[in-house]
């Protein structure tokens, strides 16, 4: 049996761990609240924007826009959204599994240090990595989007996709590959998302749509705007997932430490009692012998 001193030392270290994980849980919880709010508040906006484009796209058969047309996919462009820091459970590992499934040639872009490290480690074609601060302003995401859009227009990559942890709720974050460009199959993707979310389909109005000032002008403004906004929304969602995952991981760690502490305390008390009993026995035996 371990000596009381050893047990005491362990109790102390576990207590320390519990304190740290507890503090980290609280920090993550407060950040989570903000991140979730931001992600959820932006949702209706992003959805409405996507819906507008989805209704617009089929009516634009005569308009040629590089963002709209499907072309032969030689190289996929994938943006990987991960966290900068660890200690957030299986969040990043789940994303990496999705990355490993990509067998076709692809160029990677990363936001988040964990992702760029992973891509470098597995020797994938990492074009650029970006870091964003906790404040997560739109202007921080913009350079990444601009670089990808430029590569897309230059024909270096033939799609823009985003691998990110979709925020469902605090306990569930679902790794997902989300196609952003080209928009050719946007309508079908949206329909699938809508049935999943249980929202009713759009009102059917098959009269010709009017564009002001002109279809081209609206499109020119709307599409780049959509791409920016959309990716930004995904980043927000990823951020909400990160803090949720971290909070849950830290809570589990804290609970574990509490349990371990209980067991150790019990063991310590037993050892202490045993030592006292042994001491009394010794005294009694000594008295008996001399008396």
131 binds another protein (CB under 8 A): no
49 binds another protein (CB under 8 A): yes
247 Cβ partners below 8 Å, 6+ apart?
A: 25, 28, 29, 32, 170
The tokens describing 147, both together, are 């670089």
What does the alpha-carbon distance between residue 3 and residue 261 come to, in Å, rounded to a whole number? Answer: 16
217 binds another protein (CB under 8 A): yes
Cβ of residue 45: shortest distance to another protein, in angstroms?
5
Are the C-beta atoms of residues 67 and 159 closer than 8 Å to each other? Answer: no
Among residues 64, 203, 287, 290, which is the contact residue for another protein, using CB under 8 A? Answer: 203
Q: Note the Cα 17 to chain centre separation in Å.
A: 25
139 binds another protein (CB under 8 A): yes
Q: Which stretch binds another protein (CB under 8 A): 93-101, 148-156, 176-184, 208-216?
A: 208-216
Q: Which stretch binds another protein (CB under 8 A): 46-54, 116-124, 171-179, 280-288?
A: 46-54
What does the alpha-carbon distance between residue 129 and residue 120 come to, in Å, rounded to a whole number? Answer: 11
Q: Which stretch binds another protein (CB under 8 A): 152-160, 198-206, 259-267, 271-279?
A: 198-206
Among residues 2, 100, 172, 209, which is the contact residue for another protein, using CB under 8 A? Answer: 209
211 binds another protein (CB under 8 A): yes
Among residues 208, 287, 288, 291, which is the contact residue for another protein, using CB under 8 A? Answer: 208
List phi, psi (to 5°) of 165. Answer: -85, 110
Q: Which stretch binds another protein (CB under 8 A): 134-142, 153-161, 182-190, 252-260?
A: 134-142
Q: What is the CA radius of gyration of the chain?
A: 28
Q: Which residues sit opposite 130 in a β-bridge?
A: 111
Are the C-beta atoms of residues 110 and 132 closer than 8 Å to each other? Answer: no
191 binds another protein (CB under 8 A): no
204 binds another protein (CB under 8 A): yes
User: Which residue in this structure is represented by tokens 């959805």?
Assistant: 47
Residue 12 or 138: which CB sits closer to another protein? 138
Cβ of residue 221: shortest distance to another protein, in angstroms?
6
Are the C-beta atoms of residues 252 and 260 closer than 8 Å to each other? Answer: no
Residue 172 or 209: which CB sits closer to another protein? 209
What does the alpha-carbon distance between residue 170 and residue 241 come to, in Å, rounded to a whole number? Answer: 7
Among residues 125, 134, 174, 202, which is the contact residue for another protein, using CB under 8 A? Answer: 202
Buried-exposed string 137-171: b where 16+ CB fall within 10 A, e elsewhere? eeebbeebbebbbebbeeeebbbbbbbbbbbeebe
CA distances (Å), origin 86, targets 40, 164, 199, 246: 24, 16, 36, 8
Q: Which stretch binds another protein (CB under 8 A): 13-21, 82-90, 210-218, 281-289?
A: 210-218
Residues near another protein (CB under 8 A): 41-42, 44-45, 48-49, 51-52, 55-56, 138-139, 142, 202-205, 207-213, 217-218, 221-222, 229
């Amino acid at each position: 049996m371990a000596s009381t001193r050893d047990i005491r030392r362990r109790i102390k270290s576990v207590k320390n761990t519990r304190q740290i994980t507890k503090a980290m849980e609280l920090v993550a919880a407060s950040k989570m609240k903000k991140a979730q709010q931001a992600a959820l508040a932006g949702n209706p906006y992003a959805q409405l924007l996507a819906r507008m484009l989805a209704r617009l796209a089929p009516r634009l058969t005569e308009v040629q826009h590089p963002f709209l047309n499907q072309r032969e996919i030689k190289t996929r462009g994938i943006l990987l959204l991960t966290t900068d820091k660890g200690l957030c459970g299986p969040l990043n590992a789940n994303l990496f599994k999705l990355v490993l499934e990509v067998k076709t040639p692809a160029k990677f872009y990363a936001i988040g240090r964990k992702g760029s490290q992973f891509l470098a480690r597995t020797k994938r074609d990492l074009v650029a990595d970006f870091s964003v601060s906790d404040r997560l302003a739109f202007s921080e995401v913009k350079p990444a989007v601009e670089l990808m859009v430029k590569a897309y227009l230059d024909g270096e990559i033939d799609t823009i996709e985003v691998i990110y942890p979709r925020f469902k709720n605090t306990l569930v974050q679902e790794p997902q590959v989300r196609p952003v460009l080209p928009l050719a199959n946007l309508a079908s993707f949206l329909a699938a998302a809508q049935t999943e979310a249980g929202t009713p389909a759009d009102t059917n109005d098959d009269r010709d749509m009017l564009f002001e000032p002109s279809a081209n002008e609206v499109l020119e403004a709307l599409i780049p705007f959509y791409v920016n906004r959309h990716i930004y929304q995904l980043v927000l969602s990823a951020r909400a997932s990160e803090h949720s995952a971290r909070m849950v991981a830290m809570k589990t760690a804290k609970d574990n430490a509490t349990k371990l502490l209980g067991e150790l305390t019990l063991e310590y008390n037993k050892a202490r009692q045993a030592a006292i009993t042994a001491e009394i026995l010794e005294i009694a035996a000594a008295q008996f012998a001399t008396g």
